[in-house]
């Protein structure tokens, strides 16, 4: 559906060129919700704006729905952009127009009749839950309702792709969850491909099927959301995941673990961090390992969460037993789909 190849974006700066994007390659499948996450300045907004050529890349090729946008003339690009809707952080509504007329604006510009506009706008307002507020003005509705107007307006031209540039970052958590649920519904019911930019892993966790992590204008990690959450490979990804799943053990847990390791006396004891996801989270693997390898297992810390209905999480376990049994237990857990890391604390 969307293919970015060798994308570079360079801006002039007071001290020389600024390289916002550095050779990005990305393929986004039709009908999926794809998240792009990174810290401020990572290049994610620059990247999403190359998809509809609001930012024309300095180098590279942008292909959407089989059309090479970077090869189109001005008229061809205007036509192609009608199939790419976009919603923004700050809504960009016209204060002098009603909710209905804000949604109708792109259709007016496209030359549709008033009857055609009403036929298209009314169902959209119902879809986003604003059919009773059609005659209100932006000053008379909440921030979440304003974003719903922005979503309906972006859908008015019946696009194949919807781009969301930090569309929930100005909203409170409850409103954010409601807007994300609406985007999921739109994706499911309309089959729309959605690309969302965010700096919040909680947003990715709730809605994205796959994600890419950006840093310094490059994609440093990419994959299925559950896979990345349960087994992050890049330091930046692990740092961003801290808001959802802490990547380091709390200091009080470390102190308690030292005491447990000391109390083990001469018996070999190890602190193991177990990371699991999917089916492995539903199996009684710890009790099985304790019986099979004659180990004492003491859970000292843990967290279990879900990514769109799929469980994932980690446990910190003090395992006490013979060295050979401990090695065999770790190998057994690895083959059962559990990632085992031995944590060493002085």
Q: What's the rounded Cα separation, in Å, for the pair 31 and 162?
A: 10
User: With contact defined as beta carbons under 8 Å apart, do 24 and 219 qualify?
Assistant: yes
User: With contact defined as beta carbons under 8 Å apart, do 317 and 235 qualify?
Assistant: no
Instruction: Judge whether residue 295 has pLDDT over 50.
Output: yes
Instruction: Judge whether residue 307 has pLDDT over 90.
Output: no
Q: How many Cβ atoms from other residues are within 10 Å of residue 191's Cβ?
A: 10
Instruction: Judge whether residue 15 has pLDDT over 50.
Output: yes
The β-bridge partners of 36 are 197, 212
Nearest to 166, CA basis, from 333, 331, 58, 47:
47
pLDDT band per the 50, 70, 90 thresholds, residue 346: very low
pLDDT band per the 50, 70, 90 thresholds, residue 31: very high
Long-range CB contact pairs, 126-132, < 8 A, 24+: 127/152, 127/155, 127/186, 128/152, 128/182, 129/182, 130/99
User: With contact defined as beta carbons under 8 Å apart, do 225 and 211 qualify?
Assistant: yes
Instruction: Judge whether residue 10 has pLDDT over 90.
Output: yes
For residues 50, 54, 55 and 59, what is the CA-based torsion angle, rounded to 10 degrees? 60
Over residues 203-247, the pLDDT tens digits come to 999 999 999 999 999 999 999 998 898 888 899 999 998 877 777
pLDDT band per the 50, 70, 90 thresholds, residue 191: very high
Domains and CATH numbers, the chain: 2-241 (3.40.50.300), 251-343 (3.30.70.260)
Over residues 238-271, the pLDDT tens digits come to 999 887 777 777 778 777 777 777 765 666 888 8
Q: How crowded is the C-beta side of 136, counted as CA atoms within 13 Å? A: 13
Residue 250, sorted as left (phi over 0), alpha (psi -120 to 50) or beta, turns out to be beta
Question: Higher confidence at residue 269 or residue 76?
Answer: 76
Looking at residue 16, its pLDDT comes to 85
Nearest to 85, CA basis, from 180, 193, 10, 5:
193
pTM given for the model: 0.88
Q: In degrees rounded to 5, what are phi and psi of residue 199?
A: -110, 10
Q: What's the rounded Cα separation, in Å, for the pair 61 and 67?
A: 10
Give the least confident one: 184-188, 195-199, 280-284: 280-284
Percent of the chain with pLDDT over 70: 97
User: With contact defined as beta carbons under 8 Å apart, do 24 and 218 qualify?
Assistant: yes
End-to-end CA gap in the chain: 51
Looking at residue 114, its pLDDT comes to 94
Instruction: Judge whether residue 118 has pLDDT over 90.
Output: yes
Mean pLDDT of 333-345: 83
User: With contact defined as beta carbons under 8 Å apart, do 32 and 209 qualify?
Assistant: yes
| β pairing state of 218-224 and 67-68 | unpaired
The DSSP-derived string for 210-269 is EEEEEETTEEEEEEEHHHHHHS--SHHHHHHHTTTS-SS--HHHHHHHHHHHHHTTTS-E
Over residues 127-149, the pLDDT tens digits come to 999 999 999 999 999 999 999 99
Looking at residue 311, its pLDDT comes to 85
Question: Higher confidence at residue 317 or residue 279?
Answer: 317
Instruction: Judge whether residue 284 has pLDDT over 70.
Output: yes
Q: What's the rounded Cα separation, in Å, for the pair 260 and 292?
A: 22
Q: What's the rounded Cα separation, in Å, for the pair 168 and 163?
A: 13
Residues 6+ apart with CB under 8 A from 235: none
Tell me the chain's radius of gyration from C-alpha atoms.
25
pLDDT band per the 50, 70, 90 thresholds, residue 345: low
Mean pLDDT of 303-328: 88
Residue whose pair of structure tokens reads 């194949």 in the numeric block: 160
Give the least confident one: 68-72, 178-182, 340-344: 340-344
């Amino acid at each position: 559906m969307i293919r970015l190849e060798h994308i570079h974006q360079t801006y002039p700066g007071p001290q020389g060129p600024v390289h916002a994007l550095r050779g990005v390659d990305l393929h986004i499948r039709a009908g999926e919700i794809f998240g792009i996450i990174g810290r401020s300045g990572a290049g994610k907004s620059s990247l999403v704006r190359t998809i509809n050529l609001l930012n024309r890349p300095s180098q590279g090729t942008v292909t959407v729905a089989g059309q090479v946008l970077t090869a189109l003339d001005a008229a061809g690009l205007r036509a192609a952009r009608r199939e790419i809707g976009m919603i923004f952080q700050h809504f960009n509504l016209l204060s002098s127009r009603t909710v209905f007329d804000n949604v109708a604006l792109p259709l007016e510009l496209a030359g549709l009749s008033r009857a055609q506009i009403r036929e298209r706008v009314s169902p959209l307002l119902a879809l986003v839950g604003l059919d009773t507020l059609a005659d209100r003005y932006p000053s008379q509705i909440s921030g979440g309702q304003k974003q719903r107007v922005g979503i309906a307006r972006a859908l008015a031209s019946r696009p194949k792709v919807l781009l969301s540039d930090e569309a929930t970052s100005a909203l409170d958590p409850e409103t954010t969850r409601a807007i994300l649920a609406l985007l999921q519904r739109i994706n499911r019911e309309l089959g729309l491909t959605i690309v969302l930019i965010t700096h919040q892993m909680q947003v990715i966790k709730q809605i994205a099927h796959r994600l890419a992590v950006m840093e310094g204008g490059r994609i440093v990690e990419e994959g299925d959301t559950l896979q990345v959450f349960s087994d992050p490979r890049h330091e930046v990804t692990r740092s961003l995941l801290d808001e959802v799943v802490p990547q380091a053990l709390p200091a009080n847990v470390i102190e308690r673990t030292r005491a447990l390791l000391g109390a083990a006396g001469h018996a070999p004891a190890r602190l193991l961090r177990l990371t699991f996801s999917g089916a492995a989270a539903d199996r009684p693997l710890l009790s099985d390992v304790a019986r099979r390898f004659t180990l004492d297992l003491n859970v000292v810390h843990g967290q279990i969460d879900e990514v769109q209905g799929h469980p994932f999480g980690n446990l910190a376990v003090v395992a006490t037993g013979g060295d050979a049994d401990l090695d065999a237990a770790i190998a057994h857990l690895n083959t059962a789909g559990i990632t085992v890391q031995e944590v060493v604390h002085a």
